[in-house]
Amino acid sequence: MRKPTLYAVRFFMIVVGLAALSLILAPPSNQGSPYLSALAAISAPPATAQTCAMTSCGRDKEGGFICTSSGTSTNCNRNKSGNRCSTTNC
Protein backbone atom coordinates (compact mmCIF):
# COMPACT_ATOMS: atom_id res chain seq x y z
CA MET A 1 0.00 0.00 0.00
CA ARG A 2 2.91 2.31 0.66
CA LYS A 3 4.62 1.93 -2.76
CA PRO A 4 1.65 3.08 -4.93
CA THR A 5 1.31 6.21 -2.78
CA LEU A 6 5.02 6.92 -3.10
CA TYR A 7 4.85 6.54 -6.89
CA ALA A 8 1.81 8.84 -7.06
CA VAL A 9 3.61 11.52 -5.04
CA ARG A 10 6.72 11.22 -7.24
CA PHE A 11 4.61 11.49 -10.40
CA PHE A 12 2.79 14.54 -9.02
CA MET A 13 6.09 16.23 -8.11
CA ILE A 14 7.50 15.59 -11.61
CA VAL A 15 4.38 17.10 -13.21
CA VAL A 16 4.57 20.15 -10.92
CA GLY A 17 8.29 20.53 -11.64
CA LEU A 18 7.76 20.38 -15.43
CA ALA A 19 4.94 22.93 -15.21
CA ALA A 20 7.11 25.30 -13.17
CA LEU A 21 10.00 24.81 -15.59
CA SER A 22 7.81 25.65 -18.58
CA LEU A 23 6.65 28.85 -16.86
CA ILE A 24 10.21 29.87 -16.05
CA LEU A 25 11.54 29.17 -19.55
CA ALA A 26 8.59 30.72 -21.42
CA PRO A 27 9.44 33.76 -23.56
CA PRO A 28 8.68 37.07 -21.86
CA SER A 29 5.64 39.12 -22.72
CA ASN A 30 6.24 42.10 -25.04
CA GLN A 31 3.65 44.30 -23.36
CA GLY A 32 5.12 47.73 -22.67
CA SER A 33 8.31 47.05 -24.59
CA PRO A 34 9.76 50.03 -26.50
CA TYR A 35 10.68 47.62 -29.30
CA LEU A 36 7.10 46.55 -30.00
CA SER A 37 5.95 47.42 -33.50
CA ALA A 38 3.42 50.22 -33.85
CA LEU A 39 1.52 48.01 -36.28
CA ALA A 40 1.22 45.08 -33.87
CA ALA A 41 -2.20 46.19 -32.61
CA ILE A 42 -3.65 46.65 -36.09
CA SER A 43 -5.48 43.71 -37.58
CA ALA A 44 -6.39 43.35 -41.23
CA PRO A 45 -10.08 43.39 -42.15
CA PRO A 46 -11.48 40.12 -43.41
CA ALA A 47 -11.17 39.61 -47.14
CA THR A 48 -14.52 39.50 -48.86
CA ALA A 49 -15.34 38.95 -52.49
CA GLN A 50 -16.72 41.82 -54.54
CA THR A 51 -20.44 41.50 -55.07
CA CYS A 52 -21.83 41.18 -58.55
CA ALA A 53 -24.66 43.57 -59.44
CA MET A 54 -25.86 41.36 -62.34
CA THR A 55 -26.40 44.42 -64.55
CA SER A 56 -25.44 45.35 -68.10
CA CYS A 57 -25.51 48.49 -70.23
CA GLY A 58 -28.71 49.44 -71.99
CA ARG A 59 -30.42 52.48 -73.51
CA ASP A 60 -33.36 54.44 -72.23
CA LYS A 61 -36.09 56.01 -74.40
CA GLU A 62 -34.10 59.23 -74.84
CA GLY A 63 -31.01 57.31 -76.05
CA GLY A 64 -28.96 57.69 -72.87
CA PHE A 65 -27.16 54.83 -71.22
CA ILE A 66 -28.72 53.03 -68.26
CA CYS A 67 -27.80 49.96 -66.27
CA THR A 68 -30.38 47.22 -66.65
CA SER A 69 -30.81 43.93 -64.85
CA SER A 70 -29.28 40.94 -66.60
CA GLY A 71 -29.06 37.23 -65.95
CA THR A 72 -25.30 37.19 -66.49
CA SER A 73 -22.41 37.81 -64.08
CA THR A 74 -21.63 41.34 -65.27
CA ASN A 75 -21.47 44.81 -63.74
CA CYS A 76 -22.57 47.96 -65.51
CA ASN A 77 -20.31 51.01 -65.11
CA ARG A 78 -21.89 54.28 -66.28
CA ASN A 79 -20.21 57.66 -65.93
CA LYS A 80 -21.96 60.49 -64.10
CA SER A 81 -23.02 62.39 -67.20
CA GLY A 82 -24.53 59.24 -68.70
CA ASN A 83 -22.80 59.43 -72.09
CA ARG A 84 -20.53 56.38 -71.60
CA CYS A 85 -21.20 52.89 -70.32
CA SER A 86 -19.11 49.75 -70.01
CA THR A 87 -19.98 46.25 -68.90
CA THR A 88 -17.35 44.23 -67.03
CA ASN A 89 -17.38 40.59 -65.94
CA CYS A 90 -17.66 39.82 -62.23
pLDDT in tens, 11-63: 999 999 999 988 888 776 666 666 766 776 777 777 776 677 778 888 888 87
Please enumerate in sequence order all residues whose Cβ is within 8 A of that of 16, keeping only pairs 6 or more positions apart, or say none: none
Instruction: Confirm whether 55 is domain-assigned.
Output: yes
Cβ atoms 56, 72 nearer than 8 A? yes
- The total number of structural domains that make up the chain: 1
Instruction: Confirm whether 12 is domain-assigned.
Output: no
Instruction: Confirm whether 37 is domain-assigned.
Output: no
Domain range for residue 69? 51-90
Instruction: Confirm whether 3 is domain-assigned.
Output: no
pLDDT reading at 1 higher than 60? no
Instruction: Confirm whether 79 is domain-assigned.
Output: yes
pLDDT reading at 89 higher than 80? yes
Instruction: Confirm whether 35 is domain-assigned.
Output: no
